[in-house]
Amino acid sequence: MNIKAEQRFLRLNLSSIVSLFLLILAGGVVRSSGSGMGCPDWPKCFDQYIPPTDISQLPKDYQKRYVAQRLEKNERFAKLLEKSGYANLAQKIRNDESIKIPEEFNAAKTYTEYINRLIGALTGVFLLLTFIFSFYIIKQNPVVFWLSGVNLILVVIQAWLGSIVVSTNLLAWMITVHMLLAILILAVSIFTYHHVKSQNTRKISNSVVLGLKFITVIGLIFSIAQIIIGTEVRETVDAVQSKFPELKRGEWLDEVGRIFLEHKQWAFAIVVVNVLLFMIIKRKKSELLNWGIVLMLILLAQVVTGIVLANFSLAPWAQATHVLFATLFFGCQFYILLILGEVKSNII
């Protein structure tokens, strides 16, 4: 057993996980500040590795140029969708007039999106190094090596999806797919970290553990559903903002409709399920108690930011942190489930 190689892998894997959370936060800031089209091209920003700070640094026809590039890339994407059997989606992209609207240069939005991309590039580097160093522990942990490789492929796909999100002018369903893939990458990273860290533990058969597993799985399913619904709420808010430009920020949620009510209902269900999980952990005086406390603190923060969003005109800072706490909450739930899967006999 190569202890040093395992420790190097764990450090890099943990760095990847932290970087992924930072990337999700950065993505939330981009969305809440309306900076998603701050860089109209990809992977460069205004065809530069370091973007301009003033409009005078751009050619006069920059808007036409980047619209033409977007339309060309979207046509290639539409053809791919058609070949995959999604002709209706392909046609929807071709007929989306918003894609043809040029973006005005805004230095603040440009650099907000640029920082998001830098964090994304750093995350990619960490995941690449994680894969490279997983080779040194392939004999004792072959599953970690293969999953690290899969994660690297997922990151490449995620980067490509990011370029499509830009070219389609933040197409609603593409943003949802982009978010879900980020959660999948995060889950794989958490799994490989735990698998190496806990390889000397052993599974046990215990009715309490099985009960906790069941509740945790239900909680995870609820969390994923809530993230999807939350993304749809945000997409609907964007549609309302575009359709009714005369509305004030505090009035947007009034026009969202049923999807916002469903979001609140799911929030209540999530609170009930996870408080029940915490009460069982606490009653059994489990070593999972610390993770249970962390879970409750994140849940509290998530509820508070949700209340702020609903009652304080969708405060931008609350939007970004709400997304971050949602993914932190998922990550904590998933890690608890992994601990329950390979728990020591003296834990519960």
pLDDT level of residue 300 (50, 70, 90 thresholds): very high
CATH of domain 202-348: 1.20.120
Res 347 pLDDT > 50:
no
For the segment 187-245, what is each residue's pLDDT rounded down to a tens digit? 999 999 999 988 755 554 455 677 788 999 999 999 999 999 988 888 888 778 778 87
| pLDDT digits 0-9 by tens, 89-112 | 788 778 877 777 777 888 999 999
The rounded Cα 15 to chain-centroid distance in angstroms is 16
For residue 177, what pLDDT is reported?
84
Percentage above 90 pLDDT, the chain: 43
Report d(CA 259, CA 325) in Å as an integer. 20
Answer with the residue of higher pLDDT: 103 or 33: 33
Range with top average pLDDT, 52-56, 218-222, 246-250, 315-319: 218-222
pLDDT in tens, 312-341: 888 888 888 999 999 999 999 999 999 888
- pLDDT score at 171: 66
pLDDT tens digits, 162-185: 777 776 766 667 778 888 899 999
Confidence at residue 206, expressed as pLDDT on a 0 to 100 scale: 59
- The full 3-state SS of the chain, as one line of letters, equals CCHHHHHHHHHHHHHHHHHHHHHHHHHHHHHHCCCCCCCCCCCCECCECCCCCCHHHCCCCHHHHHHHHHHHHHHHHHHHHHHCCCHHHHHHHHCCHHHHCCCCCCHHHHHHHHHHHHHHHHHHHHHHHHHHHHHHHCCCCHHHHHHHHHHHHHHHHHHHHHHHHHHCCCCHHHHHHHHHHHHHHHHHHHHHHHHHHCCCCCCCCCHHHHHHHHHHHHHHHHHHHHHHHHHHHHHHHHHHHHHCCCCCHHHCHHHCCHHHHHHHHHHHHHHHHHHHHHHHHHHCCCCCHHHHHHHHHHHHHHHHHHHHHHHCCCCHHHHHHHHHHHHHHHHHHHHHHHHHHCCCCCCC
Q: What is the pTM of this model?
A: 0.87
pLDDT-derived band at 18, boundaries 50, 70, 90:
very high
Q: Higher-confidence residue: 142 or 37?
A: 142
Q: Where are the domain boundaries for CATH 1.20.120 in the chain?
A: 202-348
Share of the chain above pLDDT 70, in %: 93
